[in-house]
Structure formats: C-alpha cells, structure tokens
C-alpha cells in the first residue's frame, strides 16, 4: 500500500534562499510529525499536527522555520533564508491516532537539504 511520500528527495539551495518541503502522509492518518536528522545523528522533533491544527512547534529551531497542514492531509515545511546549519535530512512521519493514542509513526524517505 501507499506509504508516506516526500518531495523533493534532494534539494540544493544557496544560502539565503527559501525552500519548501512537501509531505504526503498515509491517507486517513490524523497525526503528522516533522523531524530533522543531521548527519550521524538520530532524528530530532520539529513540529506536530493533529489534523490541520499545529499542536506543538516547540522543536522548530528558529522563526525561519514554518510548517502548515491547511486541510489536514498534505503538509509543507518551509525554511526561509536558509543557512548552512539547516543542511540535514528532513523526515515526515504520520500516525493513525491523535494525541493520547499509542500508534507507531510511519516515516517517509526524507528530503536531503544541502545549503551551499
């Protein structure tokens, strides 16, 4: 069956450019998470949506990072004025249940962002 998809798979941006990363979660999944994975590290939480509501954005590293999920399905992570330290793999995950429900998260293949 269809899993979580992300696009683009690879993105090279010049420092200062804006980028937009897309996530298509598994159909019907209520929860959507964004994580950032730096080279040689485990994923680190960025933000969480339950349907269209962004319930937790405490992991976003700066106000240059913005995420939305306007219709409760597709989500976009936007990074403004990219910096070299933004280079990482950005992972999207979706989960069937909302808060309080202990379903596992299913991850997409990630978008590898390189800022030059």
Binding site for another protein (CB under 8 A): 4, 31, 33, 35, 40-45, 48, 50, 55-56, 58-59, 91, 93, 95, 99-100, 102, 104-110
Find the shortest distance in angstroms from Cβ 18 to another protein. Answer: 24
Q: Give the span between the Cα atoms of 39 and 4, in whole angstroms.
A: 22
Residue closer to another protein, measured from CB, 12 or 55 = 55
- Residues 6 or more apart whose CB falls under 8 angstroms from that of 40 comprise none
Find the shortest distance in angstroms from Cβ 12 to another protein. Answer: 16
Q: Give the span between the Cα atoms of 90 and 4, in whole angstroms.
A: 13
Cβ atoms < 10 Å from Cβ of 18:
12
Residue closer to another protein, measured from CB, 41 or 114 = 41
Residue closer to another protein, measured from CB, 31 or 82 = 31
Q: Give the span between the Cα atoms of 82 and 78, in whole angstroms.
A: 10
Find the shortest distance in angstroms from Cβ 58 to another protein. Answer: 7
Q: Give the span between the Cα atoms of 82 and 65, in whole angstroms.
A: 9
Find the shortest distance in angstroms from Cβ 33 to another protein. Answer: 7
């Amino acid at each position: 069956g269809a899993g979580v998809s992300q696009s683009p798979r690879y993105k090279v941006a010049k420092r200062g450019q804006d980028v937009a990363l897309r996530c298509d979660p598994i159909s019907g999944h209520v929860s959507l998470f964004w994580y950032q994975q730096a080279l040689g590290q485990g994923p680190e939480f960025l933000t969480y949506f339950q349907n269209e509501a962004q319930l937790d954005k405490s992991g976003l590293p700066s106000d240059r990072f913005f995420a939305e999920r306007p219709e409760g399905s597709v989500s976009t992570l936007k990074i403004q004025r990219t910096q070299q330290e933004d280079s990482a793999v950005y992972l999207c995950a979706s989960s069937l249940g909302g808060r309080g429900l202990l379903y596992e998260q299913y991850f997409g293949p990630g978008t590898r962002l390189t800022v030059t």
